[in-house]
Amino acid sequence: MKINIVLLRSTIIAALGGLLFGFDTAVISGTTGWLQDVFSLSSAELGFTVASALIGTIIGAIGIGKPTDKYGRKKILFVVAILYFVSAVGSAFAWDWYSFLFFRLIGGIGVGGASVVSPMYIAEISPAKFRGRLVAITQLNIVLGMLMAYFSNYFISTFNLGAFEWRWMFGVEAFPALMFFFLLFFTPCSPRWLMAKKRVDEAKEVLAKCGTDEGNIEEEIEAIQSSLDVEHHTTKEPLFAKKYFTPLSLAIAIAIFNQLSGINAVLYYAPKIFEMAGAGGESALLQSVAIGGTFLIFTIAALGVIDHFGRKFLMLIGTVGYIISLAIIGGTFYMYGTDFTEASGTIVLISLLLFVASHAFGQGAVIWVFLSEVFPNRIRARGQALGSFTHWFMAALIAWTFPIIAEVSGGHAFTFYAICMVGQLFWVIFVMPETKGISLEQMQKKFGIE
């Protein structure tokens, strides 16, 4: 069985939501200095400015579940594309700090929505055999978006545009947002959403184009119908029911651990961290591009093996890498404080690259796949929304507090993140189940959900 062209095309288009997700979240890393100067921000206000988009992601993630069930995955992706466009243009033309915060909030709502709907849509159109690598294309696009943002920021900085530099950095996102919007017209609706709406013939057409787990469309339809069990359950039944404890607890745990690694502190404040370690401004932006490149390489590596070795194996490798790299970074800041030499600065750079590689190969590749797999069809939208909400709530907390902590204690935040990753290691070994190669309907049975 091969990945057919309709499935691949639809996956790549839906994953463009991830590309814009990555660009939108990383682009601010090159503008923090400008924003602090232009709007006269304190460290706490800068932290809030960075976190403003993340507050939007919380709203987007928690609020997207019910509309996605009502209107469908595809229609909500159109809304996400519009939010990205409005945010890009609005941020570029912001006339004061408050208007800037508003448009970044709008973009954050788009990111929160994309983090739920893009991987969910791909999971629901993908046969189990390919689901891991296809959903992971969302993460690949997130990383490509981040790399594009880092490179775009560096490229724009070479033009010496002065006070307009940061506006261009935000504004360029409008072009891929428009492309995403128009390409969505070439994607089908999710067959599992169509089945939930009793549009059986349309679901059969999509399955015929995208492929099935059962090898037979009628058997696939029957399995989906059984998992929905519409005579006894509805897509409106309570999410926090006892029978859903296992998938809910797994989703919340992986989302919390994802952010306790400190990954968003690194992505949003990469240039600032490098400056703390002694790098100049333009050099710090260029080193941020190196982070994006490392992220991309190891995401591609993870995408190639996630359906072979499984989600748990990638999480184990990534977690060990987290602990080693974070311990080295924390120790280096402890030894040198603010008096960095070229050698100690290089140690921080290499350790950050190891940290990013560990994230890309482990949590980065796994989280969106895992969240899209563990919930039954009838609560997937709301369950995945809860997992994404948890992720973004923690991301906002980390992004908001990092500049304050860094100002007071230097790099000690990294030591805290290392300790948290020891906790993740135990969770992966003793709690996390393997989900590779199991259909979405079989997963429900594995967790004992009737």
pLDDT at position 153, please?
Answer: 85
pLDDT at position 362, please?
Answer: 95
Residue 340 above 70 pLDDT? no
Instruction: Give dist(CA 383, CA 380) in Å, integer.
Output: 5
Residue 336 above 80 pLDDT? no
- Structural domain for 309, as ranges: 5-446
Instruction: Give dist(CA 373, CA 381) in Å, integer.
Output: 11
Instruction: Give dist(CA 247, CA 409) in Å, integer.
Output: 37
pTM recorded for the entire structure: 0.80
Instruction: Give dist(CA 426, CA 315) in Å, integer.
Output: 11
Residue at 349: amino acid letter: L
Highest mean pLDDT among 140-154, 173-187, 324-338: 173-187
The rounded percent of the chain whose pLDDT value lies above 70 is: 90
Residue 280 above 60 pLDDT? no
Q: Do the Cβ atoms of 277 and 410 come closer than 8 Å?
A: no
Give SS3 for 431.
coil
Burial status of residue 198 (CB atoms within 10 A of its CB: 0-12, 13-18, 19 or more): exposed
Residue 214 above 80 pLDDT? no
Q: Could you tell me which of 402, 374, 399 has the C-alpha nearest to residue 386?
A: 374
CATH number of the domain within which 235 lies: 1.20.1250.20
Encode pLDDT of 347-402 as tens digits: 878 888 899 999 999 999 999 899 989 988 888 888 989 998 998 888 878 877 77
Task: Report the domain count for the chain.
Answer: 1
Q: Do the Cβ atoms of 389 and 258 come closer than 8 Å?
A: no
199-204: long-range pairs with CB below 8 Å, 24+ = none
Q: Do the Cβ atoms of 56 and 104 come closer than 8 Å?
A: yes
Angle at 255 between CA 194 and CA 388, to 5 degrees: 40
Q: Which runs of consecutive H residues, i.e. helices, occur in 93-185?
A: 97-125, 128-157, 165-171, 174-183
Highest mean pLDDT among 130-139, 150-159, 183-192: 183-192
